[in-house]
């Protein structure tokens, strides 16, 4: 299944953030800078979604997500945290990897397919380890690009 996720190297960061609000703010910043979105709108949408329940997916991964009228396809941002942060995840494990997703406003199934693709990717222990060990943003970008292309084939 081809999800056709947008991924820009500009949307990948290594960061030391110590609270969930700071993580959501940095996610909004990355998504807006990489994909030309309004940062305050994205942040407001991410916070509104998070208020419904934690997007802490488990296994040290959070997938904060929202929708926007200003994107044409699901678009991804990734933050690798330098130190684990409590994100109220379903398994109570602190988060070290944040996969931010913004999808088109009316992309019901497409949004769910994008979330599922990210979920599949982050369930793979080897992929998580490679993301954790990647020496720089370029290596993370290459790994994710190759992973999503392989999954689409």
The confidence score (pLDDT) of residue 1 equals 37
- Whole-angstrom Cα distance, residue 125 to residue 111? 24
The confidence score (pLDDT) of residue 146 equals 83
Q: What is the pTM of this model?
A: 0.93
Return mean pLDDT, the chain.
92
Residues designated as active site: 65
Residue 153 pLDDT more than 50? no
Interior angle at CA 40, CA 36 and CA 84, nearest 5:
95
The confidence score (pLDDT) of residue 149 equals 59
* Local confidence band at 150 (pLDDT 50, 70, 90 cut-offs): low
> pLDDT digits over 59-117, tens only?
999 999 999 999 999 999 999 999 999 999 999 999 999 999 999 998 888 999 999 99
**CATH class of this structure's domain 6-152:** alpha beta
Mean of the pLDDT values across residues 124-131?
92
- Whole-angstrom Cα distance, residue 110 to residue 74? 8
């Amino acid at each position: 299944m081809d999800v056709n996720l947008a991924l820009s190297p500009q949307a990948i960061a290594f960061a030391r953030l110590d609270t969930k609000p700071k993580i959501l703010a940095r996610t909004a910043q990355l998504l807006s800078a990489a994909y030309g979105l309004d940062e305050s709108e994205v942040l407001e949408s991410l916070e509104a979604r998070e208020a419904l329940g934690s997007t802490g997916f488990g296994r040290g991964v959070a997938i904060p997500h929202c929708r926007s009228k200003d994107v044409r396809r699901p678009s991804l941002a990734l933050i690798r945290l330098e130190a684990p942060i409590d994100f109220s995840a379903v398994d109570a494990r602190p988060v070290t990897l944040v996969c931010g997703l913004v999808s088109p406003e009316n992309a019901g199934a497409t949004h769910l397919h994008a979330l599922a693709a990210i979920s599949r990717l982050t369930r793979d222990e080897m992929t998580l380890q490679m993301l954790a060990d990647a020496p720089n943003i370029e290596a993370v970008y290459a790994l994710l690009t190759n992973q999503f292309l392989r999954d689409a084939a």
